[in-house]
């Protein structure tokens, strides 16, 4: 982390993209909660009342979030949404136009090449079962040689990374052994499928749906880097977004991405396609350029008002599952210094592996440090839980 770090948006830009949405929700919920409990894989619980035996802990129910996704999105539907073939089939049966694509397993010899030739290059390659935290896809594949190389490379098991520990239960389900080639390299099981998708030309249109309503519409012309708010898109596209949300019952929050010819003209059979659906709204991509809109969306997801992130506060933190007290002390001191936080650290309880400390400083920095420790971002001493009060 950079020692010149001064504010929250700077920090968001320095952390891996896969952790940013969860941090946004945590920064809102922690100051509005009596207790926050953070667990690995970006699982977070927020209690309005501290659960104690005297308070009837078994009756105090927290709000739960995984990777910044609200628990209002039902788990079966989220897992369904992560299977591209599944949601494509459901949308197509409901009359929603989706991008041309087909899936191929590791056993494919030339079928994926023949299909790419049929639909025409360039194409996009992506896993059929999407990762919980981020979408790994490769676009601008222009010929047979590129596709063949990337089809094989994408399946190769690489050194463990954050996403390996954070995949959805659905994506982690492997009913066969990893494949090992003649050179000893490990690959995903041959049954794991990848999607070859036609890369569409046109403007990107992103619809954010909350409780069945379109709460934000953004466009990005081809080649542009920034999303632009578009209040005057044609009503027919909003109807597409609402229809998708209705088809995917159980998804109170949903991002719908389309490619369109012109968002100001009516949607027809040949001028738009849905290219992606996700439970991840990607608010971290919008918060700098479209703060007011992003704030309104986050307040619905987090179910609370956005706090004053610059306000000074003090919290008490308990880390569990700590193995090395000296390493923790050094790392924690370093991170607190970078974030300009006051730190009062107790000694590690060697028997229980727990340590308590007090933090003082800006609300955004308090949220950031606890999130960093809960998710092992650039540190070695990763606890099994982080409890904040």
Q: How far apart are CA 88 and CA 130, in angstroms?
A: 13
Do 104 and 193 belong together in one domain?
Answer: yes
Domain ends where: 147, 163, 198? 198
Report, as an integer, the average pLDDT of 189-211: 92
Residue 140 in any domain: the answer is yes
Instruction: Provide the domain count of the chain.
Output: 2
pLDDT of residue 1 exceeding 70, the answer is no
Residue 46 in any domain: the answer is yes
Residue 312 in any domain: the answer is yes
pLDDT in tens, 133-188: 445 789 999 999 999 999 988 877 664 444 343 444 444 444 445 566 656 677 77
**The pLDDT value given to residue 158:** 61
Domain ends where: 151, 175, 198? 198
Residue 13 in any domain: the answer is yes
Residue 360 in any domain: the answer is yes
Do 43 and 129 belong together in one domain?
Answer: no
Residue 293 in any domain: the answer is no
Residue 283 in any domain: the answer is no
Q: How far apart are CA 284 and CA 281, in angstroms?
A: 9
Model confidence at 2, pLDDT cuts 50, 70, 90, reads: very low
Interior/surface letters 199-232, b for 16+ CB within 10 angstroms, e for the rest: bbebbbbbbbbbeeebbbbbbbeeeeeebeebee
**The pLDDT value given to residue 161:** 41
∠ CA 105-106-109, rounded to 5°: 95
pLDDT in tens, 55-76: 555 667 889 999 899 999 988 8
pLDDT in tens, 276-315: 999 999 999 999 899 999 999 999 999 999 999 999 999 9
pTM value?
Answer: 0.88
**The pLDDT value given to residue 182:** 58
CATH code, 373? 3.30.70.100
**The pLDDT value given to residue 4:** 41
Q: How far apart are CA 335 and CA 293, in angstroms?
A: 31
Domain ends where: 198, 230, 252? 198
pLDDT in tens, 215-273: 999 999 888 889 999 888 999 999 999 999 999 989 999 999 999 999 999 999 899 99
Range of the domain at 191: 100-198
DSSP annotation string for 180-249: E-TTS-EE--TT-EEEEEE---SEEEEEEEETTEEEEEEEE-TT--S-EE-TT--HHHHHHHHHHHHHST
Percent of the chain residues past pLDDT 90, beyond the cut: 63
pLDDT higher for 380 or 146?
A: 146
Residue 213 in any domain: the answer is no
Mean pLDDT of the chain: 87
């Amino acid at each position: 982390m950079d020692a010149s770090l001064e504010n929250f948006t700077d920090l968001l830009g320095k952390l891996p993209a896969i952790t940013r949405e969860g941090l946004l929700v945590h920064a809102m919920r922690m100051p509005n909660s009596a207790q926050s409990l953070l667990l690995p894989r970006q699982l977070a619980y927020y209690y309005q009342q501290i659960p104690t035996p005297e308070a009837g802990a078994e009756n105090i129910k927290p709000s739960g979030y995984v990777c910044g996704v609200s628990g209002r999105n039902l788990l079966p539907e989220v897992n369904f949404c992560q299977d591209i073939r599944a949601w494509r089939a459901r949308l197509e049966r409901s009359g929603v136009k989706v991008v041309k694509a087909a899936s191929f397993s590791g056993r494919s010899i030339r079928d994926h090449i023949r299909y790419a030739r049929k639909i025409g290059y360039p194409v996009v390659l992506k896993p059929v079962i999407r990762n919980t935290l981020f979408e790994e896809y490769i676009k601008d594949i222009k010929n047979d040689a590129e596709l063949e190389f990337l089809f094989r490379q994408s399946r190769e098991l690489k050194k463990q990374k954050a996403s390996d520990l954070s995949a959805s239960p659905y994506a982690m389900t492997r009913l066969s052994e990893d494949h090992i080639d003649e050179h000893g390299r490990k690959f995903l099981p041959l049954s794991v499928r990848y999607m070859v998708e036609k890369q569409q030309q046109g403007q990107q249109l992103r619809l954010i749906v909350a409780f069945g309503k379109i709460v934000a519409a953004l466009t990005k012309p081809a080649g542009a880097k920034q999303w632009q708010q578009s209040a005057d898109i044609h009503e027919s596209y909003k109807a597409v977004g609402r229809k998708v949300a209705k088809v995917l019952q159980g998804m109170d929050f949903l991002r719908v991405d389309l490619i369109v010819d012109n968002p100001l003209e009516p949607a027809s059979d040949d001028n738009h396609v849905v290219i992606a659906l996700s439970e991840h709204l990607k608010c971290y991509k919008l918060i700098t350029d479209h703060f007011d809109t992003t704030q309104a969306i986050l307040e619905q997801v987090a179910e609370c008002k956005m706090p004053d992130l610059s306000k000074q506060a003090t919290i008490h933190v308990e880390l569990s599952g700590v193995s090395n007290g000296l390493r923790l002390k050094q790392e924690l001191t370093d991170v607190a210094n970078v974030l300009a936080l006051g730190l009062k650290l107790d000694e590690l309880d060697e028997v229980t592996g727990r340590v308590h400390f007090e933090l003082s400083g800006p609300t955004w920095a308090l949220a950031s440090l606890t999130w960093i420790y809960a998710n092992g971002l650039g540190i070695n001493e990763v606890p099994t839980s982080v409890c904040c009060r």
